């Protein structure tokens, strides 16, 4: 399988046509901060179904990262925090399902 097609991003129950999304062996998805790999061709089962649904958890929720700097961190993950030393503003990196962005807490 081409590595470009291995990491598919967030898990989805249905595709853009409204049909059950089909995942193939070795494809990787994320859900709720965890990463899962498809053990076989599967559809209709969320990763929480585990091996009986065709999924194996490969990571666990990681501790959030806290950064103090004048520039936002590269490659942030949802939940990470950044204290902008130039402005003194605290930001949290959020993923609302439609976008990912730094949100200030002032």
Q: Domain ranges in the chain?
A: 3-57, 66-105
Could you tell me the sign of the dihedral formed by the alpha carbons of 76, 58, 26, 16, in that order? Answer: negative
**Which pair of tokens denotes residue 22?**
């089909």
Digit-coded pLDDT (tens) for 81-99: 999 999 999 999 888 778 8
* The predicted structure's pLDDT at residue 60: 56
The domain 3-57 having CATH identifier 2.10.10: the answer here is yes
* The predicted structure's pLDDT at residue 39: 93
What is the average pLDDT across 60-69? 76
Q: To the nearest 5 percent, what fractions of the chain are helix, strand and coil?
A: 10, 40, 50
Provide the whole-model pTM. 0.52
């Amino acid at each position: 399988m081409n590595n470009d097609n291995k990491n598919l991003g967030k898990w989805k129950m249905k595709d853009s046509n409204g049909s059950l999304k089909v995942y193939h062996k070795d494809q990787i998805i994320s859900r709720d901060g965890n990463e899962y790999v498809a053990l076989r061709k599967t559809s209709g089962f969320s990763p929480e179904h585990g091996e009986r649904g065709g999924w194996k958890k490969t990571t666990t929720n990681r501790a959030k990262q806290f950064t103090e700097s004048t520039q936002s961190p590269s490659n942030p993950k949802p939940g990470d925090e950044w204290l902008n030393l130039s402005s003194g503003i605290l930001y949290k990196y959020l993923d609302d399902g439609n976008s990912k962005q730094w949100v200030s807490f002032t």
